[in-house]
Structure 1
Amino acid sequence: MQNRMPQVRQAMVASPHYIASAVGASILHKGGNAFDAAVAVSAALGVVYPHMTGLGGDAFFLMFEASTGEYVGYNGSGRSGSRAVPGWYADKGMSRIPARGIDSVVTVPGMADAWWEVWSRYGKLPWEDLIEPAVRYAEDGYPVSANLAEWLKKDEELILLDGNMRRTYSQNGRVYQESEQLRQKELAGSLRMLQRGGGRVFYEGDLMQRITTAMGHVGGLLMPEDFLCHHGEWVKPISTEYRGRTVYQMPPNSQGFSLLMMLNMLENTELRHIPRRSAAFYHLVTEVVKKAFHDRDAYLTDPDFRHIPLEQLLSREYAEQLWKQVCLLPPQADPFLSQASGQDTAYAAVVDEEGNAVSFIQSLYFDFGSAYIAGDTGIVMQNRGCYFSLDPAAPNALEPNKRSFHTLMPGMVADQGRPCLLLGTQGGEGQPQTQLSVLTGVFDYGLTAQEAVSLPRWVYGRTWGEDSDTLKLEGRCGSETAAELRAIGHQVDMLRDWDGVMGQAQAISISREGVISGAADPRGDGSVIGW
């Protein structure tokens, strides 16, 4: 299952679906830049990977503009509706926000706004050209990929429950199978409206009216004014130094700072002296993850609503304190219990001939999001807001016009001021852990990006919406390794050798000599195209 890693000098696109990668390459060949290609890839992924992402979800963009040398981010996450208060659910007899259905549609999708803002600031090609490939694949269809077929089967009962979902993703009483042609005519119509009217049509025009009217007919929480008020946010990335390089992440409400905390802790040891496939390695990184997640869960929310002490959390002094708690002798597993989080995500990366770089990630939160399509729009609405707590004392408490704790976290690493690695992955709790695996693989163990992406992986916590709080290891980690970890207190689940629970990572690396290399995860349907 090991992919060959291309090496080129001009440009590259890496995405979790081969069609989306081809779309990005076509935009670059037409004279577009990395920002144009990123928007086109993002839109295409919403069509060909509808179980993981779509127009009804959120997106985060982490970017490097070569002409200025500036690193910048765009937070395309939506806020809760103006009527979103715990009492709205209490009046319905609910003690928590449902994970599926219309009651889980709590936040305004931020995807379309993110496309529009990134293109408006940096794009070269006409807007219409960037959306056209997504429209075409929605109208004409495409063969269902292996990964999409797997999730359609897994969620078949859920899909068949909703009339609009059933009409879109099934035929003759069953969901679409691998290689069958999936057409999404209604989604194509919505994308065409966006293509002709611009990104704000989703929030101010006819498309917004159709979405909110459809939700209103079934008792939805979001109102037209919630869409009208929506705007994403240009942000300054946060960073830390690791092995002489600068690692950039998005600031809160993204969980990206948890990865920076992990790296700060690991800076206190020579990780390369610990064999990568040993029990000692998996124990160490799992305990580092637990320490970072403890603080993440204690603080992460919308920073407009609550102070998050990032300066303290990312300080070297604090990392040393945590590291001393990790390095217990003899080794012992911490019983920390993580929060459950969602899973569906699509990460992609683009670099162009000018040196621009875009690392971006998008999501519906759960697989097929809320499992609710807004009327005849073909748009699957996200259920990101179900992560809010109805406990008013919780950091991530539900309040009006608030952004939720967000798992999305595109990554970028700089060497001597220039991008040297773009990386990201699917999976809620797994995102910082897989980025940690890839980063340490490249910078501690001297691997190529593809070798690092293909390493045996672990994931700790209750990702993919599961109740289990175990340490999950791919089978390639070995039964002896698992036994050693159990002996020091870890609850270990052994998975398949290449397991989808580990998510799908992509990466692009750039050497000091200007050689561009790419990595697509063997666990998914991705591909890398470069020249």
Structure 2
Amino acid sequence: MSSLLFLCPTITFLFFILLPPTSSLNSVSGPTKHRHEVIIAHHGAVATDDRRCSRIGMKVLREGGHAIDASVAAALCLGVVSPASSGIGGGAFMLLRLASGKAQAFDMRETAPLQASENMYAANATLKKEGALSIAVPGEIAGLHKAWKQHGRLPWKRLVRPAERLAHLGFKISPYLHMQMVKTKSEILQEKGLRGIFTSNGSLLQLGDICHNKKLAQTLRTISKFGPVAFYNGSIGFNLVSDVQKVGGILTMKDLQRYRVKLKEPISANILGLKILGMPPPSGGPPVILMLNILAQYAIPSGVSGSLGIHREIEALKHVFALKMNLGDPDYVDVSKVISDMLSPKFAKELKKTIYDNMTFDAGHYGGRWNQIHDHGTSHISIIDRERNAISMTSTVNSYFGSRILSPSTGILLNNEMDDFSIPMNVSAALPPPAPSNFIKPGKRPLSSMAPTIVLKNEQLKAVVGASGGGMIIAGTAEILLNHFARGMDPFSSVMAPRVYHQLIPNVVYYENWTTVSGDHFEVPADIRAALQKKGHVLESLAGGTICQFIVQDVRTSTSENGGAGTLVAVSDPRKGGLPAGF
């Protein structure tokens, strides 16, 4: 059992790790009852970054709503109460697997404005990260409405109303949002729109204070009546474009009118006796599958346990990030060969041959030709409804508070998604050049690490998982799946286990060492760190990481009470303070 001890963040959780390795629900139903971050449900469950949004989604399911209905209500809620991470001024990837077996991928990723160009930041690369020129065309409202039109059961107005009420009546500032506000204090104080929402008498609102966004409430009310046309070809859009152009942006009504949601086939791979469904590019779905494919080449569970297992994880991640930068928007670059390789067990077996158990290497060993982009914050939703339709959806505005611009006439906080593109620039001899496949083109979608994932076993729904946390999402999502399906840990312990991250450049292992807003301390133990350092890894502690939402179905527990469906265990990651809801 010592091989699993590194996964225990504090003595509080030692009991779960010392249980016999099993994926059975019995291992969580007793000892984790006192933790509100894990629930057991029979009919439906929603796991989000915020308890209020989980409950809003759950109420939709109780009323007979489809998982899509719940995703609309929960996502719009998150855009109000967690505006630093998501919202209708950003975009998302949604993976849907219907109870019938059909699966769909909704790409509502932001796009580059029509006036954008490859060299638009040549004079000042910082304009790519923040401000009016960092704003890409938002896609979330278009995507949510398209999914609802196909599968929704409850009225659109009913789904938008909870978010509208929160924006109008106000909501308490959560510990995590307050932390994000403090880290972005100077930008909030400088920008008129943000200042009007998040300050009072010249000072930041405090933890627990009531925050209002009445302009956003009006916007949501209009969207509830008229749908996305008001946003993409109506009064909201006209006001939004006017606000952006006043501060030097290039967003136009033509950009909004031309925006299209891409409905795609999910990618899939058979790994560890499971069928893994993921988002196609430009998402992080293929890299997650590559990482799992590499690690599945080892003996399970022994080959992925203990310090050696962590070393192998890190080495696999380095290969993953070396290849990731060959991806891009498939409407603009041919990525078919890269995808084929990433989904191939044979290709993974060849990469495994270059992983040495006694040492690590410089970045060049892993064959990476291009410099990395470092994408930022996000929010994730996992949902399973009564019929076992399942949704995994990750949304984003990119950095904390996106572009740091809030449209004063609409209340919409705008993304800085242009920062996820690579740009031509002079680089030092120590760094590889930027990736041409991710260069800016008008209408193009930037590369992302977001990786909503659905797991099947024998074509039956087994799990829904995803993570927020920018470039660390790939590692976080894969580690949850490895913890549960390879190491045999229960769902709660799979989420609680401290994580390690690597993005090839810089050649540094980041390991969790922080006390979160929930009061839990996460830290990879000293003996594991020492073993990694002995192999040549450079380690750096990280007071942050991915935030995961995980729902597992155990079909062995089906009863007449839930119509023959399995029991659901839903876990919201305490690192952000979120809680699941179910019935």
TM-score (norm 1): 0.94
Q: How many angstroms does 1:502 deviate by? A: 1.3
Cα distance between partner residues in 1 of 2:144 and 2:435: 35
Which of 403, 412, 426 aligns to 2:468? It is: 426
Cα distance between partner residues in 1 of 2:201 and 2:320: 48
The one-letter amino acid paired with 1:448 is D
The one-letter amino acid paired with 1:492 is L
Residue-pair matches, total: 516
- SS of 1:112's equivalent in the other structure is helix
**What are the Cα deviations for residues 2-43 of structure 1, in whole angstroms up to 9, with x where unaligned?**
635322221111111000011001111222121101110000
- SS of 2:77's equivalent in the other structure is helix
Cα distance between partner residues in 1 of 2:346 and 2:161: 51
Tell whether 2:548 aligns with 1:505: yes
Kept in 2, the 8 Å contact 1:258–1:432? The answer is yes
Which of 110, 114, 124 aligns to 1:94? It is: 124
The one-letter amino acid paired with 1:242 is I
**1:92-491 correspondence to structure 2 within 5 Å:** 93-95=123-125, 97-105=127-135, 107-274=136-303, 276=305, 278-297=306-325, 299-308=326-335, 309=337, 310-326=339-355, 328-335=356-363, 339-391=372-424, 394-461=436-503, 469-475=507-513, 476-491=523-538
**What are the Cα deviations for residues 78-114 of structure 1, in whole angstroms up to 9, with x where unaligned?**
2111111134434xx2246520111111x21110001
**What are the Cα deviations for residues 255-280 of structure 1, in whole angstroms up to 9, with x where unaligned?**
2100101111112111411474x321
The one-letter amino acid paired with 1:302 is D
Give ranges in structure 2 of 5+ residues lacking alignment. 1-11, 14-34, 425-433, 514-522, 557-565
- SS of 2:330's equivalent in the other structure is coil
Cα distance between partner residues in 1 of 2:449 and 2:360: 28
Kept in 2, the 8 Å contact 1:340–1:461? The answer is no
The one-letter amino acid paired with 1:13 is V
Q: How many angstroms does 1:134 deviate by? A: 0.2
Which of 78, 93, 103 aligns to 1:60? It is: 93
- SS of 1:395's equivalent in the other structure is helix
Q: How many angstroms does 1:469 deviate by? A: 4.8
Cα 1:275–1:61 shift into 2, 3 Å:
closer
The one-letter amino acid paired with 1:200 is V
Kept in 1, the 8 Å contact 2:86–2:378? The answer is yes
Q: How many angstroms does 1:178 deviate by? A: 0.8
Cα distance between partner residues in 1 of 2:403 and 2:415: 5
Q: How many angstroms does 1:215 deviate by? A: 1.3
TM-score (norm 2): 0.86
Cα 1:393–1:525 shift into 2, 3 Å:
closer
- SS of 1:502's equivalent in the other structure is coil
Q: How many angstroms does 1:451 deviate by? A: 1.0
Cα distance between partner residues in 2 of 1:238 and 1:232: 18
- SS of 1:516's equivalent in the other structure is strand
Q: How many angstroms does 1:468 deviate by? A: 5.5
Cα distance between partner residues in 1 of 2:439 and 2:252: 20
The one-letter amino acid paired with 1:69 is G
The one-letter amino acid paired with 1:241 is N
Cα distance between partner residues in 1 of 2:546 and 2:97: 25
- SS of 2:470's equivalent in the other structure is coil
Cα 1:457–1:329 shift into 2, 3 Å:
closer
Q: How many angstroms does 1:523 deviate by? A: 0.9
Tell whether 2:70 aligns with 1:37: yes
Cα distance between partner residues in 2 of 1:39 and 1:31: 14
The one-letter amino acid paired with 2:332 is F
The one-letter amino acid paired with 2:277 is Y
- SS of 2:219's equivalent in the other structure is helix
**What are the Cα deviations for residues 232-289 of structure 1, in whole angstroms up to 9, with x where unaligned?**
111110011111110111000112100101111112111411474x321221101101
- SS of 1:247's equivalent in the other structure is strand
Tell whether 2:550 aligns with 1:520: no
- SS of 1:472's equivalent in the other structure is strand
**What are the Cα deviations for residues 208-245 of structure 1, in whole angstroms up to 9, with x where unaligned?**
00011111222211111010000111111001111111
The one-letter amino acid paired with 2:501 is V
Give ranges in structure 1 of 5+ residues lacking alignment. none
Cα distance between partner residues in 1 of 2:420 and 2:390: 31
Aligned to 2:559: none
Kept in 2, the 8 Å contact 1:101–1:370? The answer is yes
Kept in 2, the 8 Å contact 1:78–1:232? The answer is no
Kept in 1, the 8 Å contact 2:378–2:395? The answer is yes
Cα distance between partner residues in 2 of 1:247 and 1:304: 24
Kept in 2, the 8 Å contact 1:429–1:460? The answer is no
Q: How many angstroms does 1:511 deviate by? A: 1.1
Cα 1:421–1:86 shift into 2, 3 Å:
same
Cα 1:208–1:247 shift into 2, 3 Å:
same
- SS of 1:348's equivalent in the other structure is strand
Cα distance between partner residues in 1 of 2:82 and 2:125: 32
Cα distance between partner residues in 1 of 2:484 and 2:297: 18
Q: How many angstroms does 1:301 deviate by? A: 0.9
Cα distance between partner residues in 2 of 1:366 and 1:275: 33
The one-letter amino acid paired with 1:377 is T
Give the fraction of aligned pairs with identical amino acids, expressed as a percent: 27
Kept in 2, the 8 Å contact 1:438–1:453? The answer is yes
The one-letter amino acid paired with 1:408 is M
**What are the Cα deviations for residues 170-203 of structure 1, in whole angstroms up to 9, with x where unaligned?**
1121211111001111111111111111022211
- SS of 2:551's equivalent in the other structure is strand
- SS of 1:193's equivalent in the other structure is helix
Kept in 2, the 8 Å contact 1:64–1:72? The answer is yes
Kept in 2, the 8 Å contact 1:255–1:300? The answer is no
- SS of 2:529's equivalent in the other structure is helix
Cα distance between partner residues in 1 of 2:359 and 2:115: 49
- SS of 2:116's equivalent in the other structure is coil
Cα 1:528–1:29 shift into 2, 3 Å:
same
